[in-house]
Structure 1
Amino acid sequence: MASAGKAALRERLLAARRSVNDDVRAAEAQSLAEHVDAQLNSAEVVCAYVPVGAEPGSVEMLDALLRHADRVLLPVARTAADDSATAMQWGAYRPGQLVTARFGLLEPARPWLPATAVAEAGIVLVPALAVDRSGARLGRGRGFYDRTLVLRDPGARLIAVVRDEELLDELPHEPHDVPMTHALTPGRGLVELAG
C-alpha cells in the first residue's frame, strides 16, 4: 500500500478513536489495566508508554505494570536537526512525576537512559493505531518505534495496545517493520499473533 493509502488508513483509525465516548474509553482503559494485572507475568524491566489523546491505556495501566516489574521505562521522543525521528531514549516511570513534552506527550523526568535500554526489557508495550494477526503494526508514521525496536532483546514480547476493533486481519507492512508478538485489547486481553 502506498504512503497515501497508509495516511488515509491512519486518518480513518484516528477519527474512529476520536468518536469513542469518554465513558467507553474509561471502561476500556480499566479493562486494559486489569488485563495487565492478570495476564502479564513479571519481568525485571518493562518498556511502556503514556497514552495521549484517544490512545488506549492509562496511567493506571502503568501502575499495574509497576506491580509486576522491577522497573517500568517510558520513552523520550526527540528528533534530529532535520526534524526526523531518532531512536527513543528511556526514563524510569515514577508515579506522579511525569512532565509535559513535545508532541503533547507526557514523559519521565531526567535522568534518561540511552535508546539501547530497550534491550533490557522482557516486555515492551507499544502504542499502535492497529495491528494485524501476523504482527504487522500501524503506528502514527513518524518512525520513532521503527528506529527503537530494532534495538530490543530478540526474545522480548512486543505487545501492541489497541482497541478490539483495531486488531485486524491484515495491514500493509514494509521490510523494516518489526512485527509484534502479541496484541492487548480491552475485550480480548492478551492475544498471541502469528508473526
Structure 2
Amino acid sequence: MLRREFLTVRSRLTADDVRETAAALATRALGLPELAQARTVAAYVSVGSEPGTLALLDALRARGARVLLPALLPDNDLDWGTYTGEDSLAHVRHSGKMALLEPVGERLGPDAVRDADVVLLPGLAVDARGMRLGRGGGSYDRVLARLERAGADPALVVLLYDTEVVEHVPEEAHDRPVHAVVTPSGVRRFR
C-alpha cells in the first residue's frame, strides 16, 4: 500500500517537474565526493515519473567515469552493460512490466556490479535510518546481496524527490541501508 501511495504522488508530476528535478539532482549528485572520485558507477535509466537520471549519466561519462546500466533478466536479476550515450539505449518491454531503457551491446554479467565504486539505486522512499523502499521486485536486493557476498563496499546512493525522504519505511531481513540520499534540495547521509 505504501508503494502505491508514492507511485500515485509521482504519477501527478508533469514532464516539466521531472525535467527540472533531473537537473537539480544531477547538480547535487555531482557534488558528492564519492561520485567525483568514482572510476565506475553502476546506475540506472529512470523511466516515467522517476527522478530523472540521464543528465547525471551523461555528466558522469563526461568526467571519465565508466557507467554501468542494468538489463533485467527473466528471473528479475540484473545483468549489466556499458552506457556510452543515449544512442546506446533501447526500449525493452518485459512481460507484465513497464518498458525499460537498457544498454545495447555486450552484456558483462550480473557480477560486473562488483567493480562499481558507487551504486545509484532506484527507490520510492528512504527513511531516517537509510532504509530504502524499492518497487518490490527484488532486483536490487539481489545486487546488494551480491556485493555483500563479494566483500565489495561501494557507496550506495538513492535519488529521490524531497517528499520521499520519510521517517520510517518497512524493512525485511534482507534489506540493507544506503549511505546517502540525494534530493533536489540536498544530500542526506546515513551511518
Partner of 2:30: 37
Partner of 2:70: 75
Q: Is the 8 A contact 2:121 2:159 kept in 1?
A: yes
Read off the aligned partner of 2:89 and give its amino acid letter.
L
Partner of 1:23: 16
User: Which stretch shows the higher mean deviation, 178-187 or 149-158?
Assistant: 149-158
Q: Is the 8 A contact 1:45 1:69 kept in 2?
A: no
Post-superposition offset of 1:22:
2.5
Partner of 2:162: 164
Post-superposition offset of 1:179:
1.5
Post-superposition offset of 1:110:
2.0
Question: Is residue 88 of structure 2 the alignment partner of residue 97 of structure 1?
Answer: yes
User: Which stretch shows the higher mean deviation, 149-158 or 46-55?
Assistant: 149-158
Q: TM-score, normalization: structure 2?
A: 0.89
Unaligned runs of 5+ in 1: 1-7
Q: Deviations over 1:72-96 (max 9, x none)?
A: 000011123xxxx22x110000102
Partner of 1:119: 114
Question: RMSD over aligned Cα, in angstroms?
Answer: 1.4
Post-superposition offset of 1:58:
2.9
Partner of 1:110: 105
Q: Is the 8 A contact 2:180 2:190 kept in 1?
A: yes
Post-superposition offset of 1:44:
1.1
Q: TM-score, normalization: structure 1?
A: 0.87
Q: CA–CA distance in 2 between the matches of 1:43 and 1:66?
A: 11
> Which of 108, 126, 129 is the equivalent residue of 1:131?
126
Q: Is the 8 A contact 1:44 1:122 kept in 2?
A: yes
Unaligned runs of 5+ in 2: none
Q: Deviations over 1:102-156 (max 9, x none)?
A: 2310010020111111110010000100011211111111111111121225421
Read off the aligned partner of 1:125 and give its amino acid letter.
L
Question: Is residue 190 of structure 2 the alignment partner of residue 193 of structure 1?
Answer: yes
Post-superposition offset of 1:69:
4.4
Q: Is the 8 A contact 2:124 2:133 kept in 1?
A: yes
> Which of 174, 180, 183 is the equivalent residue of 1:182?
180
Identity, in percent, stands at 38
Partner of 2:7: 14
Q: Is the 8 A contact 2:18 2:50 kept in 1?
A: no
Q: Could you say what secondary structure the match of 2:23 adopts?
A: helix
Q: Is the 8 A contact 2:40 2:68 kept in 1?
A: yes
Q: CA–CA distance in 1 between the matches of 2:188 and 2:59?
A: 19
User: Which stretch shows the higher mean deviation, 121-130 or 69-78?
Assistant: 69-78
